[in-house]
A and B are shown apart, each in its own frame.
Chain A
Amino acid sequence: MATYIIRRLLGLIPTLFVITVIVFLLMHAMPGNAFEALVFNPRLKNAAAIYNRLVQENGLNQSLPVQYFDWIKNLLQGNLGISYSLNMPVSELIATYLPNTLLLAVTAEIIILVVSIPIGLYQARNVNGPFDVLSSFIAVLFYSIPGFVFALLLIYLLSFTFNLLPSSGTVTPGVPWSGDFADRVSHLLLPALALSLPGLAYYTRLTRGNSLQVIVADFVRTARAKGLRGPRILFRHVLRNAVIPIIAQFGLDLGGLFSGAVILEQIFTWPGMGELSINANLNRDYPLILGTTLLFAITVLIGNLLADILLAFADPRIRYD
């Protein structure tokens, strides 16, 4: 297993290289650069000079290969560059925004897994019963409605109408309790709920479907024949086998955790990676685009690797040696 992991990790290097080259080329293929808006400021009496100086100082007048290898050289020294639009080190920006994204995404994933797997299992155990029919209907409904609609609905109900939870940010500014545990949780609830609802529906359906396939398997019938209790069969035998595709899906989702939920982050003013990267692209902020893309690429690749490793643990038939 260790050899496999090392081999996979080494294999990431050429993949990352290709990804950064493609992103670099696409990024420069987009029209415009971060400094062109300068010429639209009537306050600047010498916009042309400032523009030319910034283009030169940031190396945008160099050929693309030179610019790319400069970036690689700085990257190898741990320097991701300075954001053009925010005038701050990219690494500092990522360090600021990434924890917010992770907090939101991990909370949403926990809600999804903790709620959807038991529901999916229970649906499978009572297939076509009233609970299965009703919860399946709700799950399909949730899955069909985009997360941002839930977001607006939740804000309208729980924030604007009943004033129970705040509608934006991660903490309440300007109050003595700003940033304490309860304050953070109250801010986290709405976005986490909005982010988890569609996923919750999907995982419920996935668990139900997989469990239904397993529940009719010979080894489950054998377990029943041996007189094992229902819950033991369900959790020990059915779930163990039904969970394998869920683990594979979870591995794929891991990469997405880091890239944030762009629309939801904007609606809830949740300062996360999604908003950071979308603004970087809109502003043609090359160092920030490359920095965030590199992070996303690494996390997707590592997420896939983790999924493979988890599968090996969940399914003894899988061997990577």
Chain B
Amino acid sequence: MKRRTAWMSAAAVVSLTTLLAGCSSIGGTQASAPKRTAIPNGGTLVETFPTAFGTNMIPFLDSSAYTATADSYAFDSLLNFNQKDQLVPDLVDKYAFSKSKTTITFWLNPKARWSNGTPVTSKDVQLSVDWLASKTYNVTDQGAYGYLVQNIVGASKPLPDGTTPSGFKIINSHEFSISMAQPDAAVLPSQWAGIIPLPSAVLGKMPMSAWKSSSFNKVPTIGSGPFVFKSLVPGQSITQVRNPYYVFGAPHIQTVVWKVISPNVVNGDLASGQVDIAGIHPQDVQKMKALPNLSVAIFPSNSFGYLGWRLNNAKYGSVFSNVKFRQAVEYAINRPALVKAIDKGYGKPENGPLPPINFWYNSKLNNTYAYSPATANKLLDSIGMKVGANGWRTMPNGKPFSPTLTISTGDSNIVTESTFIAQFMKAVHINLTVLPPINFNTMLSQLNNDSKGTQPIQGFLLGWSLSDDPDPRGLWRSTDNLNITSIDWTNTKDPAIVENDRLIHLQHSAAAFNLAYRKKIIYQWQTLLNQQMPENFLTMDDAIYAYNKNVHGLVFSAYTFGTPIDAWKWWMSPAK
């Protein structure tokens, strides 16, 4: 799931899963691909944030997903992901594993430079590792990204500021190695690839405890990304200009402006040309396509929505925790109809813990749980949930069964979706009542503080927006005990949990360095979850962007949040 602060505001997640919508094929889409020789330079591109961004601009200090998005233009990471979810070179142009698979040696791209022309060196990477492992970062500054370096030998606990973990070694100015204690096949894509070198010539000269209050944190004067910060107006805009020394070549566009624009008026701003690119809702697609100055890009997202059940609920937990109940619910929900009605056709039914777009998705799960109220009724009958005289099913012990569905405020699509779900349940004689929407934090609180199953929440609608690597740790292990899904399913005594944990372990084991093996294990794990239905998987909603026709070369990816990728390739038609 994606976040709105450094770690993610769930409201963003929920709105994301319903906001995104779309179509087609794999990974992403490219708006147009002109020949570089004919490309003009210059222009100002205006992008949007729906709410205010945080103003800590040093990478990893960002406190909102929007700050992180703007930061991603200014600072590149060691490696990156392309639109097919493949790890591709960035500031690092090659890497090699040791025989034991516990050490990776990295070579920085000789063309990697800061925007002032000085080279990006191993010292800059070391500073970033030191920062992520430091006490100041982890103790004082929230430390949400400390996990990126926790697998490095010597960095399992916060270190005194300026201390380098013993597992990080500089070989020369452009070569360094990072070691872990045990081989972990997921560590590179899910952790180390995301390390962002920091300018040691600037930040290395001041104590880490002073970084947050430094002027560099307010407007970083240099960067390694395609665009670097020029100015910032708190709460409303960030202006970035192109980095002439960018590793893949200077971008064509001269200036990028990030503006905070109310979602209420963003469509009008797009139409009037005050904004060049922004996410839009599925219901606005036709309207935006009809405008002469706009194009619409629709592509799948690496996210999905689900219907969860409190398996430990004091009243109905015994029913919710029965796998046949959850399977019956999956058969009872017409997911293609949800895609059609809620997402206007821009999406796909979701069949497991990874969306169909994902590189690691097991396509054998397609068409499982096809809409079948008859099968649902049969399964419910088989667990003793009889239909009473009033037309509603009872619990196996004959007591009334009237569960509730909790939804969060802020997204009208969720309200509509919940109404559909209640109707689908009604068709199989389940009396599901949709509760009035509640604040998202209230919902989280009910989920996270329900060890006795006495909170009012029973069924609930939420979504996940996933990271590039499919590593399920943090989300699906039985030891991930703060996770709502873990509380629900992986903390039950279901024998399938052992298998779940075993597969999750295998997918990052030494053997999983073999791609085919890892894929096989992740396929098995998805099949297990498809059978177990720890939560009822609903739909993957496509992402939809409208953008001005004078912007070219945009590359949209399912794996990137809030903006197209490869900003250095974009260009704008000269103003007429």
Instruction: Name A residues whose Cβ lies closer than 8 Å to a Cβ of B.
Output: 30-33, 36-48, 50-51, 53-54, 57, 85-88, 96-97, 100, 152, 155-156, 159-160, 163, 166-171, 173-174, 178, 266-269, 271, 275, 279, 282-284
Contacts and interface: CB of A to CB of B under 8 A. Distances in A.
B64 A169 contact: no
B531 interface: no
A267 B262 CA distance: 5
Given A41-B144, A169-B260, A173-B231, 8 more contacts: A39-B448, A40-B13, A43-B467, A45-B147, A85-B54, A160-B269, A168-B262, A173-B237
B445 A269 contact: no
B54 A48 contact: no
Contacts of A163: 272
B259 interface: yes
Contacts of B11: 282
A33 B482 CA distance: 14
Contacts of A166: 274
Interface string B217-243: 000000000000011011111110000
A86 B147 contact: no
A189 B257 CA distance: 22
Interface in B143-198: 143-144, 146-147, 150, 190
A47 B54 contact: no
B566 interface: no
Given A42-B464, A173-B233, A271-B52, A48 B482 contact: yes
B265 interface: yes
B102 interface: no
A30 B444 CA distance: 12
Contacts of A169: 233, 236-237, 259-260
B262 A266 contact: yes
Interface in B12-37: 13
B235 A279 contact: no
A42 B464 CA distance: 8
Contacts of A87: 5-6, 54, 56, 61, 63, 141-142, 212
Contact of A155 (B52, B138, B233, B268): B268
B3 A168 contact: no
Nearest to B191: A45
B1 A167 contact: no
Contact of A42 (B142, B238, B444, B474): B474
Interface string B474-504: 1100001111100000000000000000000
5 contacts: A31-B449, A32-B442, A43-B7, A173-B259, A282-B441
A51 B482 contact: yes
B64 A86 contact: yes
B441 A168 contact: no
A174 B63 CA distance: 24
Nearest to A179: B233
Contacts of A41: 1-3, 7-8, 144, 474
B446 A167 contact: no
A174 B474 contact: no
A251 to B, nearest CB: 29
Given A87-B54, A87-B61, A38 B268 contact: no
Interface of B: 1-11, 13, 44, 46, 51-52, 54-56, 61, 63-64, 138-139, 141-144, 146-147, 150, 190, 212, 230-231, 233-239, 255, 257, 259-262, 264-265, 268-269, 271-272, 274, 439-442, 444-446, 448-449, 464, 466-467, 471, 473-475, 480-484
B466 A48 contact: no
Contacts of B237: 169, 171, 173-174
A147 to B, nearest CB: 13
A174 B44 contact: yes
Contact of B235 (A38, A42, A97, A156): A97
A60 to B, nearest CB: 12
B265 A173 contact: no
Contact of B10 (A40, A167, A173): A40
Given A30-B442, A169-B236, A43 B474 contact: yes
Given A43-B474, A96-B234, A48 B480 contact: yes
A80 B236 CA distance: 24
A32 B444 contact: yes
Contacts of B63: 85-88
Contacts of A267: 262, 264-265
A152 B257 contact: no
Contact of B236 (A42, A48, A54, A269): A269
A267 B239 CA distance: 21
Contacts of A47: 7, 474, 480, 482-483
B165 to A, nearest CB: 16
Nearest to B142: A87
B264 A279 contact: no
Contacts of B46: 174
B302 to A, nearest CB: 11
A85 B8 CA distance: 10
Contact of A282 (B138, B147, B439): B439
A45 B235 CA distance: 31
A33 B5 CA distance: 14
Contact of A46 (B150, B234, B440, B484): B150
Contacts of A170: 233, 236
Contacts of B44: 174
B260 A168 contact: yes
B132 to A, nearest CB: 13
Contacts of B445: 31-33, 36
A45 B474 CA distance: 4
A160 to B, nearest CB: 4
A54 B7 CA distance: 12
Q: Which of A31, A39, A96 is most buried by chain B, counting CB atoms within 10 A of its CB?
A: A39
Nearest to A169: B236
Contacts of B471: 45
B147 A271 contact: no
A85 B5 contact: yes
B143 A36 contact: no
A85 B265 CA distance: 25
A183 B261 CA distance: 18
A39 B262 contact: no
Nearest to A275: B52
